[in-house]
Homo-oligomer: A and B are copies of this chain.
Amino acid sequence: MNKVTCDMAMSIDGFTAGPGQSLENPFGEGDVDRLTQWMIDEAELHKAEIADITAAGAYIMGRNMFGPGRGAWDLDWEGWWGDEPPYHAPVFVLTHHEREPVVKQGGTTFHFVTGGPEEAMRLAREAAGEREVAVAGGASTVNQFLAAGLIDELRLHVAPVVLGRGERLFEDTGAFTLEPVREPTGSAMVTHLVYRVVR
């Protein structure tokens, strides 16, 4: 079985995005740039972690991570990932509304899955071959997969900021134990914590 990974950029108080996510503010309101600024300002320093984030053979994401729309699809809107998304692999987007796949440059194709998390996982495993499957986010999607015991390795990238509100990781996941896979590393902008999920 494929290893299932999940990388999440999180504030020290557990938020992965602010409230009020929108087309203009994909990460919501508040000091949310701090969650991912290390990927830009310190790309060289964290290149191993960044490479891991985009190493999977298939991805699963919630609809909110594809775009800000809700309800029926606006087919002119093809997600906020641009012409060449960083995935270079099939991406399975959870949604209640059917849609034909959206093919992008560089090997990324967004497939729209209406059968729920288990169906998305089945399709992603199939597409990934022997490579990893990554649950890409956002928080509510990751929380569903954590609650279902479907994530093997959780890689938290913890930014030194208290956001105080927003989308919270570990909400309604139930209690469980983690096992550090390696020593924590990081910089003044982020701490990388890699855990195996024990259920």
Q: Let me know if A145 is at the binding interface, CB within 8 A.
A: no
Q: How distant is the Cα of A156 from the Cα of B162 in the complex, in angstroms?
A: 13
**Do the beta carbons of B162 and A173 come within 8 Å of each other?**
yes
Q: How many residues of A contact B (CB 8 A)?
A: 34
B-contact 0/1 string along A4-27, CB 8 Å cutoff:
000000001110000000000000
Q: Which of chain B's residues have a CB closer than 8 A to the CB of A79? A: none
A184:B191 contact, CB within 8 angstroms: yes
The answer to whether the Cβ of A180 comes within 8 Å of any Cβ in the partner chain is: yes
Copies of this chain present: 2
4 shortest A-B CB distances, which residue pairs? A160-B178, A13-B170, A184-B184, A164-B175
Taking a contact as CB atoms under 8 Å apart, the answer to whether A185 and B188 are in contact is: no
- CB neighbours (8 Å) of A186 from chain B are 180, 183-184
Considering the chains assembled together, what is the distance between the CA atoms of A191 and B176 in angstroms? 17
A175-B14 in contact given A162-B170, A184-B191, A195-B160 (Cβ < 8 Å): no
CB distance from A39 to the nearest CB of B (A): 17
The A interface is mostly helix, strand or loop, or mixed, namely loop
Residues of B contacting A185 with CB < 8 Å?
Answer: 184
For the complex formed, measure the closest distance between the CB of A34 and the CB atoms of chain B, giving whole angstroms: 7
Can you list 29 A-B pairs with a CB-CB distance of less than 8 A?
A12-B178, A12-B193, A13-B14, A13-B170, A14-B170, A31-B177, A158-B193, A160-B178, A160-B179, A160-B180, A161-B176, A162-B170, A162-B173, A162-B174, A162-B176, A162-B177, A163-B175, A164-B170, A164-B173, A164-B174, A164-B175, A165-B175, A180-B186, A180-B188, A183-B186, A184-B184, A184-B185, A184-B186, A191-B191
